[in-house]
């Protein structure tokens, strides 16, 4: 026995792997699977599509462009570059109850937050509260790294520098009088941004951390004065700042400004006339941009987006259609016409 083994010492092992006989499943694209599969997928898609479409239809959206391009528009006077602290009132009315909670967005178009050099122009270490980067910001922030006097800019970089600085106040006109709608500016940024990614340096008062630095050139007030009323919303963890820093994927975008969640308007905005008081600071006309405000409520599928519902409906129908085509093809080749 031993000798025999020795004689065939080079005999390859007889395993399923070496002999390429591993047990395997060999699916085939047979008519019995493909055609019913298409029908089922088609039906499922139509189902999902209907659900999405109906949901999306149920979402209310109100968009108001306040850029002031046209001469008769309320904010046209503010487009003059030389006017400081310009405020304009934009009036609008709501016909039916705007179901709450209502979300208040500002939107920009033709604004390239996704431009590569713009996107990298920030300093993650600085923004996470690392004081050493306050003195020497990362070179990626260039040209908003140091000011003319060679003082470091904090927060540095294009993204922070270009922070949106229009502010809004919303009033309902009740019997000719303005009734302010309370806007909630908390909880509009991602939890992770607010708690992990952005942190203020652990220096109290916060102002001291910024000694020897200058505010971004476009800012009217330094970072530690963004919200003096609430230390948890000040500095780098200011929610408006966080929302802006989460740069948009596409050149047309909207960002959450406030939520209307409490007080009289917790159930939504009742029908009526409203005035939006815009303090107009942000210049967009130079690059052909547009500014708008958007009121919207949400559903389980998020904000209003009719594309998804329609796409599901269209593709579902196409699947069903394709299954019929395939059935015909199959029948034609399976049972060829007798000549």
Partner 1 sequence: VLLLIFYFSTEEERHLRANDRPFNLSYHYANNAIKTSKYNIFTFLPLNLFEQFRRLANAYFLFLFILQLIPQISSLSWFTTAVPLILVLSITAVKDASDDINRHKSDKQVNNQTEKWMNVQVGDIIKLENNQFVTADLLLLSSSEPLNLVYVETAELDGETNLKVKQALTVTGDMGDNIDELAGFTVQGTLTVNGQTYALDNDKVLLRGCTLRNTEWCFGLVIFGGPDTKLMQNSGKTTFKRTSIDHLMNVLVLCIFGFLASMCTVMAISNAIWEVREGSVFTAFLPREPGVDAALSSFLSFWSYVIVLNTVVPISLYVSVEIIRLGNSFYIDWDRKMYYPKNDTPAQARTTTLNEELGQIKYIFSDKTGTLTQNIMTFNRCSINGKGYGEKLCLYKNYNNTDKVDFLWNHLADPKFIFHDHSLVETVRAGNPEAQAFFRLLALCHTVMPEEKKEGELNYQAQSPDEGALVTAARNFGFVFRSRTPETITVVEMGKQVTYELLAVLDFNNVRKRMSVIGERNPEGKLTLYCKGADTIIYERLHPSCNKLMKVTTDHLNEYAGDGLRTLVLAYKDLDEDYMDDWKKRHHEASTAMDGREERLDELYEEIEKDLQLLGATAVEDKLQDGVPQTIEQLAKADIKIWVLTGDKQETAENIGYSCNMLREEMKDVFIVAANTAEGVKEELQRKMCPEAPEEASVIKARAGLFWCQKTETVQDEKVDGDYGLVINGHSLAFALEKDLQLELLRTACMCQTVICCRVTPLQKAQVVQLVKRYKQAVTLAIGDGANDVSMIKAAHIGVGISGQEGMQAVLSSDFSFAQFRYLQRLLLVHGRWSYLRMCKFLRYFFYKNFTFTFVHFWYAFFCGFSAQTVYDEWFITLYNLVYTALPVLGMSLFDQDVNDRWSFQYPQLYSPGQLNLYFNKKAFVRCMMHSCYSSLILFFIPWAAMYDTVRDDGKDIADYQSFALLAQTCLLVVVNIQLCLDTHYWTAVNQFFVWGSLAAYFAITFTMYSNGMFLIFTSAFPFIGTARNSLNQPNVWLTIFLTSLLCTLPVVAFRFILIQHKVRKEALPAPAPRRLPTRRISTRRSGYAFSHSQGYGDLVTSRRFLLKKPLKSRLALFTQTDSPLAENQPQHYRTIAEEPEEAQSP
Closest separation in Å from C-beta 177 to partner 1: 29
By CB under 8 A, residue 22 contacts partner 1: yes
Stretch of 84-92, 168-176, 190-198, 267-275 lying at the interface with partner 1 (CB under 8 A): 190-198
* Max CA pair span of the chain: 110
In terms of CB distance, is 66 or 164 closer to partner 1?
164
Q: From the list 40, 97, 174, 329, which residue makes contact with partner 1 (rule: CB under 8 A)? A: 329
Closest separation in Å from C-beta 271 to partner 1: 22
Task: Please give the Cα distance from 38 to 330 (Å, whole number).
Answer: 14
Task: Please give the Cα distance from 169 to 89 (Å, whole number).
Answer: 9
By CB under 8 A, residue 1 contacts partner 1: no
Closest separation in Å from C-beta 114 to partner 1: 4
By CB under 8 A, residue 10 contacts partner 1: yes
Closest separation in Å from C-beta 290 to partner 1: 13
By CB under 8 A, residue 7 contacts partner 1: yes
Q: How far is CA 186 from CA 200, 223, 251, 258, in A?
A: 17, 17, 26, 8
By CB under 8 A, residue 124 contacts partner 1: yes
By CB under 8 A, residue 250 contacts partner 1: yes
**Under rule CB under 8 A, how many of the chain's residues touch partner 1?**
100
In terms of CB distance, is 261 or 279 closer to partner 1?
261
Beta strands in 57-137 (DSSP E): 61-65, 86-94, 98-99, 102-109
Task: Please give the Cα distance from 6 to 120 (Å, whole number).
Answer: 68
Q: From the list 66, 67, 68, 103, which residue makes contact with partner 1 (rule: CB under 8 A)? A: 103
Long-range contacts of 84-88 (CB under 8 A, 24+ apart): 85/279, 85/281, 86/279, 86/280, 86/281, 87/277, 87/278, 87/279, 87/280, 88/277, 88/278, 88/280
By CB under 8 A, residue 38 contacts partner 1: yes
Q: What are phi and psi of 91, to 5 degrees?
A: -100, 145
């Amino acid at each position: 026995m031993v000798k025999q083994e020795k004689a065939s010492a080079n005999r390859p092992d007889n395993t399923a792997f070496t002999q390429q006989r591993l047990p395997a499943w060999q699916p085939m694209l047979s008519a019995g699977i493909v055609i019913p599969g298409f029908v089922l997928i088609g039906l499922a898609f139509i189902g999902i599509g209907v659900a999405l479409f109906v949901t999306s239809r149920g979402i209310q959206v109100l968009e108001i462009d306040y850029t002031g391009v046209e001469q008769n528009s309320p904010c046209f006077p503010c487009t003059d570059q030389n006017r400081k602290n310009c405020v304009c009132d934009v009036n609008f009315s709501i016909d039916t109850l705007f179901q709450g909670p209502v979300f208040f967005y500002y939107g920009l178009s033709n604004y390239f937050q996704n431009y590569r050099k713009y996107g990298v122009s920030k300093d993650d270490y600085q923004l996470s509260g690392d004081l050493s980067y306050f003195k020497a910001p990362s070179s990626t922030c260039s040209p908003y790294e140091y000011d003319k006097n060679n003082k470091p800019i904090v927060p540095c970089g294009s993204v922070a520098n270009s922070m949106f600085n229009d502010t809004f106040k919303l009033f309902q006109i009740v019997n000719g009088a303005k009734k302010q709608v309370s806007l909630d500016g908390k909880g509009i940024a991602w939890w992770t941004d607010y708690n992990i990614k952005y942190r203020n340096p652990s220096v109290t008062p916060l102002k001291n951390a910024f000694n020897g630095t200058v505010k971004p050139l476009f800012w009217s007030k330094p970072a530690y004065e963004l919200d003096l009323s609430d230390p948890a919303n000040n500095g780098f963890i200011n929610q408006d700042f966080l929302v802006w820093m989460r740069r948009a994927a596409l050149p047309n975008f909207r960002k959450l400004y406030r939520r209307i969640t409490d007080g009289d308007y917790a159930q939504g905005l009742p029908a009526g006339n409203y005035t939006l008081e815009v303090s107009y600071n942000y210049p967009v006309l130079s690059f052909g941009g547009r500014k708008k405000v958007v009121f919207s409520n949400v559903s389980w599928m998020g904000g209003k987006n009719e594309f998804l519902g329609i796409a599901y409906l269209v593709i579902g129908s196409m699947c069903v259609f394709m299954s019929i085509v395939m059935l015909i093809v199959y029948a034609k080749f399976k049972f060829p016409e007798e000549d």
